[in-house]
Amino acid sequence: MTVDFAAKKALFHLPDGVIYLDGNSLGPMVKTAPARIAQAMAEWQDLLIRGWNKAGWMAQPAALGDRVAKLIGAAPGTVVLGDTLSIKVYQALASALEMNPKRRVILSDTGNFPSDLYMAEGLCRTLCGQYRLKTVAPEEVMSAIDDTVAVTLITEVDYRTGRRHDMTDITKRAHEMGVLTVWDLAHSAGALPVDLAGAGADFAVGCTYKYLNSGPGGPAFIYVAPRHAETARPALSGWLGHAEPFAFDLSYRPGQGIERMRVGTPAVLQMAALDAALDAWDGVDLAEVHRQSLRLQDQFIKGVETRAPTLQLATPRSHLMRGSQVSFRHPEGYAIMQALIAEGVIGDFRAPDILRFGFTPLYIDEDDVARAVGILAKIMDYGSWDKPEFKQRARVT
Ligand SMILES: *Cc1c(COP(=O)(O)O)cnc(C)c1O
């Protein structure tokens, strides 16, 4: 089945005059989200605490997990929603380390998102310094996987450059070396085809407010391979991951399978937004979404390299090594991005010099790309980025 991208675009609310190339950071709102949240609000209003049972709020993290599972090549019952991605990184990593007790090294790469590295550092400290986080250049991950490594903590698509790791190859190498894998799908889920089961991944985590459009602060997800589901022991052992939360036992017993990875009370309103957003993915073939994204990316790269040649491409040219974003370097990247945003082309900036543009075909088309290139070329030709107001750094870049 082919995706009708124009029909998909109509499902999203995009403000007039905005070309939104930042869905890789915060996805836009589906038009049905406000009504779905209003419905959850009405449940709260009328059912009060009865909503946990009557409106199915307590079952929502697993029900949504099954919907997300379809998008990442995971079987039903292997994914659960909740908390934020940083928390889920910790949860997966701690479990994986415990399952490989003779080894002391966590392997990650310098292209990983800092929060993943910070969580790993914090975990090493909690484990009394017995563990060590080793980070290598993204190109060196494969060769750094040896028999000292307990767990790899790798984000499939680099948040800065858009460079994509080969999940299948790395997982295979890891397993040959007796290493467990934690995959971060923050820039993969909803952007490209992911086959967790096929790749044999051990653990995976990701967020839903980027490509899955659940809104700011939307819940994260965690996947545990079925073969580990009954042995993985969560370090963040909250009551909702307990086998019987409402038995109120004094000590923790892990819940069944993926349920044990839950921590605390789910964010019901935010889950309602995610549920609405996931409707847009019904019947969508992610291979086709990714192919269309690559077409849009190629159009953008060609346009920028022709018309704004002082920008340097930071993203690999090979389609096999790309996610759903394109990044360019420029020493004045921050000011250039602010000038673009002032003209309605919204991307973002990542220190020290990266301008980042996401190409999400469900709501971005060729016409948007052509217009974005034109506006960027104009800003570079006239140097209109060179103004004090564009150099004032905001809290969020
Ligand atoms: C966006 C992102 C995060 C953010 O974590 P939160 O806890 O949701 O704020 C973490 N890791 C990666 C790889 C990301 O891209």
Each residue's pLDDT tens digit, 117-146: 999 999 999 998 899 999 999 999 999 999
Residues 57 and 176 in one domain: yes
Residues 9 and 96 in one domain: no
Residues 213-233 pLDDT 10s: 999 999 999 999 999 999 999
Instruction: From residue 37, give the alpha-carbon distance in Å to each of 97, 132, 180.
Output: 38, 43, 38
Across 87-105, average pLDDT:
98
pLDDT at 397: 85
Asked if the structure places residue 396 within a domain, the reply is no
**Please, what is the average pLDDT of the chain?**
97
Residues 278-323 pLDDT 10s: 999 998 999 999 999 999 999 999 999 999 999 999 999 999 999 9
Asked if the structure places residue 159 within a domain, the reply is yes
Across 365-375, average pLDDT:
98
Asked if the structure places residue 139 within a domain, the reply is yes
Of the candidates 226, 251, 281, which is a domain's last residue? 281
Residues 312-341 pLDDT 10s: 999 999 999 999 999 999 999 999 999 999
Report whether residue 335 contacts ligand 1, using a CB cutoff of 6 Å.
Answer: no
Residues 127 and 159 in one domain: yes
Any idea what the CATH number is for the domain that residue 82 is in?
A: 3.40.640.10
Report whether residue 86 contacts ligand 1, using a CB cutoff of 6 Å.
Answer: yes
Report whether residue 84 contacts ligand 1, using a CB cutoff of 6 Å.
Answer: yes
pLDDT at 1: 63
Q: Ligand 1 centroid vs 367 CA: distance in angstroms?
A: 30
Residues 2-48 pLDDT 10s: 899 999 999 999 999 999 999 999 999 999 999 999 999 999 999 99
Residues 228 and 353 in one domain: no
Residues 13 and 54 in one domain: no
Across 48-71, average pLDDT:
98
Which residue puts its alpha carbon closest to atom 12 of ligand 1? 113
Q: Ligand 1 centroid vs 294 CA: distance in angstroms?
A: 23
Residues 247-278 pLDDT 10s: 999 999 999 999 999 999 999 999 999 999 99
Number of domains in the chain: 2
Any idea what the CATH number is for the domain that residue 300 is in?
A: 3.90.1150.10
Q: Ligand 1 centroid vs 186 CA: distance in angstroms?
A: 6
Residues 368 and 251 in one domain: no
| Tokens of residue 30, six digits | 């589906």
Residues 122 and 49 in one domain: yes
Report whether residue 184 contacts ligand 1, using a CB cutoff of 6 Å.
Answer: yes
Across 393-397, average pLDDT:
88
Residues 366 and 265 in one domain: no
Residues 274 and 331 in one domain: no
What phi and psi values does residue 134 have, to the nearest 5 degrees?
-115, 125
Residues 114 and 97 in one domain: yes
Residues 267 and 165 in one domain: yes
Of the candidates 281, 303, 318, which is a domain's last residue? 281
Whole-structure pTM value: 0.97
pLDDT at 212: 98
Alpha carbons 263 and 102: distance in angstroms, whole number: 27
Answer yes or no: are the C-beta atoms of 99 and 107 closer than 8 Å: no
What phi and psi values does residue 135 have, to the nearest 5 degrees?
-115, 135
Residues 151-205 pLDDT 10s: 999 999 999 999 999 999 999 999 999 999 999 999 999 999 999 999 999 999 9
Of the candidates 258, 281, 304, which is a domain's last residue? 281
Asked if the structure places residue 397 within a domain, the reply is no
Task: Give catalytic residue positions.
Answer: 113, 184, 209-210, 356
Torsion sign (Cα): 333, 158, 211, 396? negative
Residues 84-95 pLDDT 10s: 999 999 999 999
Please provide the DSSP assignment of 194-224 as one string: --HHHHT-SEEEEESSSTT---TTPPEEEEE
Residues 39 and 125 in one domain: yes
Range of the domain at 323: 5-31+285-391
